[in-house]
Every structure is written in structure tokens, then in C-alpha cells.
Amino acid sequence: MPITKEELEEFIEELENIRGRHTELVTVFIPAGGNINVVARQVDAEKGTATNIKSKATRKNVLDALETISRELKLYKKTSDNGMAIFAGNVSKKQGQNNIKLWIIEPPQPLKTRLYRCDQTFVLEPLREMMEADEVYGLLVLDRKEATIGLLEGKQIKVLRKLTSGVPGKTEKGGQSAARFARIREGMAKEFFRRIADSMKELFFNRPKLKGILVGGPVPTKEDFLEEGQLITALKTKVIGIKDLGYADEHGLGLLVKESQDILQEQEITKEKKLLDNFFNTLGKTPEKAAYGIKDVKKALKYGAVQTLILSKKTKKSDAKELKKLAEQIGAEVEIVSVDTSEGEQFWNLAGIGAILRFAVE
């Protein structure tokens, strides 16, 4: 069974802290649809190659790791649906002692890489790529004086670039005629729009996961930008929402996401906010149908009363593992929430462990 993204994150954290004394940590990737028997034969062949390693200690560690992998692969009839990531090596911190450890996981997404490597560290990059947000949205808030470009990745809003225009206010300077001053202002505004468009091309064009772009600002500035900013067609067609806003700074990015929740209904940040809003509303209006804290939530799980178990990403790993196991036994949903939103932070400060119940527990 594939592990979840949350479990994969914990797994990566565990393995990235392991270091071999020499190139003795073995990584094997079998891609989705790959032939496990072919890989098993390759691992056996590598044992012959490893006998040529000059260092006696390194040779022994590599051979032991390969033998451990070889024995385990014989227990499988076929490759798991999403492929298999296999890691083995001596994790003992004492020189001259052996503690060969083996990990085999089915990743949450199909593995596309076939790999065999011995190194001082395990190869984790193909798994790290699976941790990236599946959907990314470009953000732009602007007025005639400033603009802020950002990204919404999962639940996080990131500021990528800030720009200022230098466009003067509407008051004429130096005795210029109103018409001439207006033309100067318009020319500077158009140049500012062009710089924004160039920055968006630089920051967004080569992002294959970019699902859409949200634009916010006062009327008619944002419309003028889309009309006159010379934004390339490939990005212009990705504009999925235009919102009236009075801010063009980092605060404006947050408001743009908030005002665009109708567009982002399936986006992670919105789903998390809805889940926690539901939890807090239930806790406030019908407290008998909610629980929080490890003691009360564990009790509700043992009674089979939990509909949705909610855990903060910062919850102690041993507690999370125990509660998730209980939830699986009664068919309860398990949701992991971040602390990147105000709701997520509030939930963590409350207890970091909560549940919406099917029925009240005495």
C-alpha cells in the first residue's frame, strides 16, 4: 500500500540524516510497471562487483546491504503499483560494528526512476519531488505605485518579487500643462505594467505545475494592466480570477487568496480552512460532537465515535502514529493540517489533536 505524503515527509527526514563512512549506503528504485525479477538479478550481479572493493569494512557493509535487499526481494511476486524505493546500509555509529537496516516503501505517486547506487548518502531527490505541491497558483496584486508577485503553493503564500513604479501623483509639477502631465504619468504607468509583465514571464513561464494566475488591485488599474501590460498570451490565458483589492503589498496577496476562495475550492489552503472552521464551529455550537487533546480523542477512537481525526503536522510522531492506527481500525478519516494558516496555528495552540465525532461520548 502506498504511504501518504505526510508519512513520506517523515521517512525522508529519517533517511537524510543517515551518513555512511564510505560509499556503502545502497539505494534501489524500481519504477512503476518495472520488472522486479530483473532488478533482483541486477542486485545479485552487483554482489559480484562489490567483492572488488578494496576496503574490507566497506566491502562487507555493501555486501551485507545487497544480501539483505536480495533476500527481501525474493518475498515479492511483483512490483508494487507505484513502484518501490529500497534503501539498505550499516547505520551503526560505532566503528567496526554492523547494524544493517532495510527500508522498502511504495511511494504515494508512481515512481518513474530506475536506479542502483552506492554512496555515502541515500538518493532521495525523486521522493522529494513528490512532496512538491501538485497545484501552484501565481499571484499578482498591483496599483499604479507598487506591485507584489507571489505564489500559492499548497498552503503557503510566498512573495517572489516587489516592484515600484515611480509614477507621480495626479498633482502637476513644474508648471506643466495638465494634458502633458497626464501623458507623462500614463507613459510611466505603461512602462511599469511592462516591467510587471516581464517579471511574471520570468517567474511563472517555466513552472509546469502552474494551474492559474490570480490578479488583484483597484479598478481600473488591474484591468488596464491586463489590457496594456503586454503580458504574453501563454500567461494571459492562465488568469483565472480578477479581484478588487485596495492593497498591492504582501498583505494584498493574503487578501487575494481569501477573496478567491470560490476559485480555489479544491486548493489545499481552502480545504484546510474549511475543515478547521467546521471543527471549531462544532466545538462551539455542539461541543458533545467534538473532542480535543490526546486523552479525549483516544477515548472517542476506542468507542468508534470518531468521524474525522485531525492532527497537526507538529503533533508528536509517536502520538500521531498511535492515533492514526486507531482511526484506521474504525474507518475514520485522518486529516493532517499545517501551522501555515491562522486556523492551523490556532488548532496547534489548542492541542494539535482533535476530532469531529459521529456521536457523543459520555
Categorize the per-residue pLDDT at 244 as very low, low, confident or very high, splitting at 50, 70 and 90: very high
Q: 18 exposed, middle or buried (CB, 10 Å; 0-12, 13-18, 19+)?
A: middle
Q: 209 exposed, middle or buried (CB, 10 Å; 0-12, 13-18, 19+)?
A: exposed
How much helix, strand and coil, in percent to the nearest 5, is found in the chain?
Answer: 40, 25, 35
Q: Is the pLDDT of residue 170 over 70?
A: no
The pLDDT value recorded for residue 229 is 84
Cα 61 to Cα 71: distance, rounded to the nearest angstrom: 16
Categorize the per-residue pLDDT at 24 as very low, low, confident or very high, splitting at 50, 70 and 90: very high
Cα 6 to Cα 130: distance, rounded to the nearest angstrom: 11
Do 17 and 58 touch, CB atoms closer than 8 A? no
Q: Model pTM?
A: 0.63
Q: How far is CA 89 from CA 19, 72, 140, 148, 173, in A?
A: 9, 14, 48, 47, 74
The pLDDT value recorded for residue 340 is 83
The pLDDT value recorded for residue 5 is 84
- Mean pLDDT over the full length of the chain: 92
| Residues with Cβ within 8 Å of residue 286, at least 6 apart in sequence | none
- Owner of C-alpha cell 480552512: 273
Interval 73-104: pLDDT, tens: 999 999 999 999 999 999 988 877 889 999 99
Q: Enter the CATH code of domain 136-265.
A: 3.30.420.60
> Domain extents for the chain?
5-129, 136-265, 269-357
The pLDDT value recorded for residue 172 is 52
Residues composing the chain: 362
Q: Is the pLDDT of residue 266 over 80?
A: no
Categorize the per-residue pLDDT at 326 as very low, low, confident or very high, splitting at 50, 70 and 90: very high
Class level of CATH domain 269-357: alpha beta
Q: Is the pLDDT of residue 187 over 60?
A: yes
Characterise 234 by phi-psi region: left (phi > 0), alpha (psi -120 to 50), beta (else): alpha
The pLDDT value recorded for residue 177 is 72
The pLDDT value recorded for residue 359 is 96
The pLDDT value recorded for residue 315 is 94
Return the CATH superfamily for domain 5-129: eRF1 domain 1 (3.30.960.10)
Q: Is the pLDDT of residue 210 over 80?
A: yes
Q: Is the pLDDT of residue 65 over 80?
A: yes
| Residues with Cβ within 8 Å of residue 315, at least 6 apart in sequence | 352, 353
By DSSP bridging, strand 306-312 and strand 333-337 are parallel
The pLDDT value recorded for residue 311 is 96
- Rg of the chain taking only CA atoms, in angstroms: 27
